[in-house]
Structure 1
Amino acid sequence: MSDHTEVADLRVVVDRIEGRSVCGMRPGDHLDLTRSSRLTIPPGRHFCLYALAAVLPLLPAKQRALADGDWLARDCEVACPDPEERLVMRVERLGVQRIPTDELT
């Protein structure tokens, strides 16, 4: 039997837009990250490349178990880099999957 790794499925949700929306996203728009590396967006919607670039580096860490005192366990908001848009995303854990380690990228 191979080793397994517990990895959280995540949802990145547009929480709010405090400026003017240039990218066309709106509060509630989201993407899901499942089974470690699968990104999905609801049909007929989109997710801004620049907002994705802002949140992407944090997602692998958010998928792992974190110590209670770790700042990444407490903080779940990420801002898009466009200063006029001020789009704020929230990273939510949807659940944890136990995946064979040799299937992870």
Structure 2
Amino acid sequence: MSQDDAFQLYDLRVEVVCPPGERILCGAKPGDYFILQGEMMYLPPNQGISIYSLSAVLPLLPAKQRITHKNDWMTTDALIACPDPNCPSQLKITRQGIRTFSHAETTVVPLQQNTNTQT
């Protein structure tokens, strides 16, 4: 990996948060989680996640992985509601360590030679 093609992404932990005593309909249990490192999602052994809950949080994960301005809502907002309107569970996205990747190792599309050109 060369330094001129490096970029960084946060590792993310996505954890189920449930109000105590409430009926949870999505099959989640408080503390269930998965880790996102780059494009790879890791779940602990014998733990699953509802595809419906995953569908609610999935579109936000690439943006949460990127370094954002301190005033950007993507920096501060972390709780995502279960998509079932009758289920009070939430998914909490927490940024963890930063991992460095190489452009050349993640795509076959070459970098532009002129760095002043934006597309």
Q: TM-score, normalised by structure 1?
A: 0.91
**Structure 1, gaps ≥5 residues long:** none
What RMSD, in angstroms, separates the aligned Cα atoms of the two structures? Answer: 1.5
Higher relative contact order (CA 8 A, sep 6+): 1
Deviation >6 Å, runs of 4+ = none
- Bigger share in strand: 1
CA–CA distance in structure 2, aligned partners of residues 17 and 11 of structure 1: 19
CA–CA distance in structure 2, aligned partners of residues 86 and 104 of structure 1: 37
The residue aligned with 2:53 is: 51
- Pair 1:28 & 2:31 matched: yes
The residue aligned with 1:16 is: 18
Q: TM-score, normalised by structure 2?
A: 0.81
Quick check: 22-31 or 38-47, which moved more?
22-31
The residue aligned with 1:84 is: 86
Q: 1:66-85 maps to which residues of 2 (within 5 A)?
A: 66-85=68-87
Partners of 1:22 and 1:85 within 8 A in 2: yes
How far apart are 1:30 and its partner, in Å? 0.3
Percent identity (aligned): 38
**Structure 2, gaps ≥5 residues long:** 108-119
The residue aligned with 1:39 is: 41
Partners of 2:57 and 2:80 within 8 A in 1: yes
